[in-house]
Amino acid sequence: MSDDEFVAYAKASSRDYAKDKVRSGQWSAEESLRLARDSLDSLLPQGLATPDHHLLKIRDAVSQVDVGTLWFAVQAQAGGKIAYVYDVLVAPPFQRRGYASLAFAALEAKVRALGLSTIALHVFGHNAGARALYGKLGYETTNISMRKHLD
């Protein structure tokens, strides 16, 4: 990913994250974009050069067209190191074509090459498509947050 591509990715990712946080009831619409940008800036203070963070393009192997992005980081957890997926973004025209599944297969190979044996991620409860995909790929639910809105 080039610096220009990172700038475009950061805009799109922050916008999508803000929408998800609002939909999940965690942030107000008014503050969501600022909070999403602050979150991204704190996680990637050096942008693409932030140590232990990997921002990868998802590319169609045949056409060589970029169809999305996958961002993961190597993190400490439970006394060891894991790969933590921060974001998977497949552009709308390319969704539901298997690119995310292929990206996760490639991710597994990269994670093994880094000497890691675990991949973790967060998925918003309202994202049924992503939850179904991760279940199909063998991811297990480790935590569930619930809420009830009272009138």
**pLDDT for 80-92, tens place per residue?**
999 999 999 999 9
pLDDT surpassing 90 at residue 147: no
Give dist(CA 39, CA 89) in Å, integer.
17
Best CATH choice for the domain 52-151 from the list 3.40.50.2000, 3.40.50.880, 3.40.630.30, 3.60.40.10: 3.40.630.30
How far is residue 121's CA from residue 130's CA, in Å, rounded to a whole number? 11
Tens of pLDDT, residue by residue over 91-114, are 999 999 999 999 999 999 999 999
Encoded tokens for 89: 């973004």
66 — pLDDT class (breaks 50, 70, 90): very high
CA distance linking residue 31 with residue 63, whole number of Å: 40
Among 83, 141, 143, residue whose Cα is nearest residue 114:
83
Where does CATH 3.40.630.30 sit in the chain? 52-151
